[in-house]
Amino acid sequence: MTGTIILGIDRETLREKVDLRAAGDRLDDLDNQRSLAAITEKVTLLRVVGRIDDAWTMANEAVRLARFTGDRETLLAARIRRAQVQHHQEKYEVALRELSGCVNEAHAHDWTALEALALQARGRAYFDRGDYRRALVDFEDANAIRERNTIPADPYDLTAVAIAVTRDLLAGGTAPQPL
């Protein structure tokens, strides 16, 4: 997914700012593609444009296809994306449980990029639930893993924004209403 679809991060909600037209065009391009890469991209696009039911269907398909590959790292990435959809469905406890399992599995196998991704996703779920202290720990841990392992940040640097916003909230800033 190119940077022209995701335009940045909303500093209040930590949700992606999206060019809806570009996202729709890309979804049209991917419409009939059934590869794991295409379905994975659809999951993210559908989630960020708010088509959560469609994202859920695609996320389950991605997990199913990833199981067929036999590659545990690929499966873990699909599980993280599916948990992100559950988070957007406001199934916080289920998403947090799944993301915690993903963090642990990634850590056990030294899959640092996936560990950072799962921590960041779990931090966002904690943030939306209003648990800013746990969110900050996860954001800072994700950032530390990326720095230690020279893993590039995402193009719009969600982790740095999330750390700054969450620190501000914990220091007495105005908190957004939990979603």
pLDDT of residue 58: 97
What is the widest separation between alpha-carbon atoms in the chain?
Answer: 49
Find tokens 């993210």 and name the residue.
Answer: 44
pLDDT of residue 153: 72
Mean pLDDT of 105-120: 97
In a domain, 179, yes or no: no
In a domain, 176, yes or no: no
Per-residue pLDDT for 178 more than 90?
Answer: no
Taking alpha carbons only, the member of 177, 178, 174 closest to residue 165 is: 174
In a domain, 126, yes or no: yes
pLDDT of residue 108: 98
Looking up residue 27, the CATH number of its domain turns out to be 1.25.40.10
Number of structural domains the chain divides into: 1
Q: What is the pTM of this model?
A: 0.92
Per-residue pLDDT for 4 more than 90?
Answer: no
In a domain, 116, yes or no: yes
In a domain, 18, yes or no: yes
Domain around 25: 6-170
In a domain, 1, yes or no: no
**What span, in angstroms and rounded, lies between the C-alpha atoms of 51 and 76?**
23
In a domain, 154, yes or no: yes
Per-residue pLDDT for 179 more than 90?
Answer: no
In a domain, 56, yes or no: yes
Per-residue pLDDT for 177 more than 60?
Answer: no
Tokens (6 digits) for 163? 């750390």
